[in-house]
Amino acid sequence: MSSFQLVGRKHRPEDTVIAMDGCRIGGQQLTVIAGPCAVEGEEQMLALARELKGMGVHILRGGAYKPRTSPYSFQGLGEEGLRILAAAREYTGLPVITEVTDARYMEKVCHYADIIQIGSRNMQNFTLLREAGRCGRPVLLKRGFAATIEEWLLAAEYILNEGNEQVILCERGIRTFETFTRNTLDINAVAAVKELSHLPVIVDPSHGTGRRSLVGPVSRAAVAAGADGLMLEVHQDPDRALSDGKQSLTPAQFAVLMDELRSLAGALGRRL
Ligand code: PEP
Ligand code: MN
């Protein structure tokens, strides 16, 4: 674990706080990132974005390039999705995050998005990590679903090593023998990474559980374990979502969770 030259607490003992236009990630702040798994259309995105802003969300999410298991599943709207996300930012004033799946798309994604997401399947795409290190935007690095904590932190090290210290780690569950849930959210990793690294840690209970009914309880557990925020999938009509409907909350369910998180944040001495 001595190879964490830049991501380690030895290099920087105090927590890294990423300051963006109108929001901060890390420190006292609890940051909530929410939105659909995929951008499906302009009307959908703008209406949901407005609702989420009203509920206190800090950052909007929405995939434009979707890394789907099957080539026959909805692949995302591509650049049109990016344009819609940027329109949602104009409309709400909230920063937007979206996934970049290939180094060739980096410039285009950076043109539209405020934060770059590197997905679980690309955690060890070293070309992409290096590009992200040079892109000049904050990067949210999801843990590979079969990656150890050490491999995850070393992947982050690639980004910092290119000169970009604005990295957010995201625990999104790992693959275990369990099949009832889509993944097994690794709460241990949240506490472990907070101990090892100064980087902010966000938890994604949507992909971590794969089940809407478990998203609330696991979100609360993540915050209690010391996460600096959450990434949550929300959809107006989850049963008709083009991806990840089973794990998406309705806006009404999300509003209840936000209220619960507010009381929890108060009890933990954090701001939401
Ligand atoms: C996502 O955030 O929609 C996503 C594809 O996540 P992950 O890379 O964690 O599977
Ligand atoms: Mn998803």
Residue 113 lies in a domain: yes
> Is position 271 within any domain?
no
In a domain? residue 144: yes
Domain containing 82 equals: 18-67+74-262
Neighbours of 257 (CB within 10 A): 22
Q: Does the beta carbon of 142 sit less than 6 angstroms from any atom of ligand 1? A: yes
Distance 235 CA to ligand 2 centre (A): 11
pLDDT digits (tens, 9 = 90+) for 36-69: 999 999 999 999 999 999 999 999 999 999 999 9
The 10 Å CB-count burial string (b at 16+, else e) for 84-95 is: bbbbbbebbebb
The single-letter code of the amino acid at 255 is: A
**Å from CA of 133 to ligand 2 middle:** 24
Q: Residue with the nearest Cα to atom 3 of ligand 1?
A: 37
Answer whether residue 268 is part of any domain: no
Ligand 2 ion: nearby residues, β-carbon < 5 Å: 37, 244
**Total domain count for the chain?**
1
- Does any ligand 1 atom lie closer than 6 A to the CB of residue 235? no
Residue 9 lies in a domain: no
CA distance 23 to 16: 14
pLDDT of the chain, 272 residues: tens digit per residue: 568 999 999 999 999 999 998 899 999 999 999 999 999 999 999 999 999 999 999 999 999 999 999 999 999 999 999 999 999 999 999 999 999 999 999 999 999 999 999 999 999 999 999 999 999 999 999 999 999 999 999 999 999 999 999 999 999 999 999 999 999 999 999 999 999 999 999 999 999 999 999 999 999 999 999 999 999 999 999 999 999 999 999 999 999 999 999 999 999 999 99
Q: Quick check: is 272 in a domain?
A: no
Find the CATH number of the domain harbouring 247: 3.20.20.70
Identify whether 7 is part of a domain. no
Nearest-atom index, ligand 1, CA of 122: 8
Nearest residue to 223 via CA among 253, 185, 251, 183: 185
Exposed/middle/buried for residue 15 (C-beta within 10 Å: 0-12, 13-18, 19+): middle
Whole-model pTM? 0.98
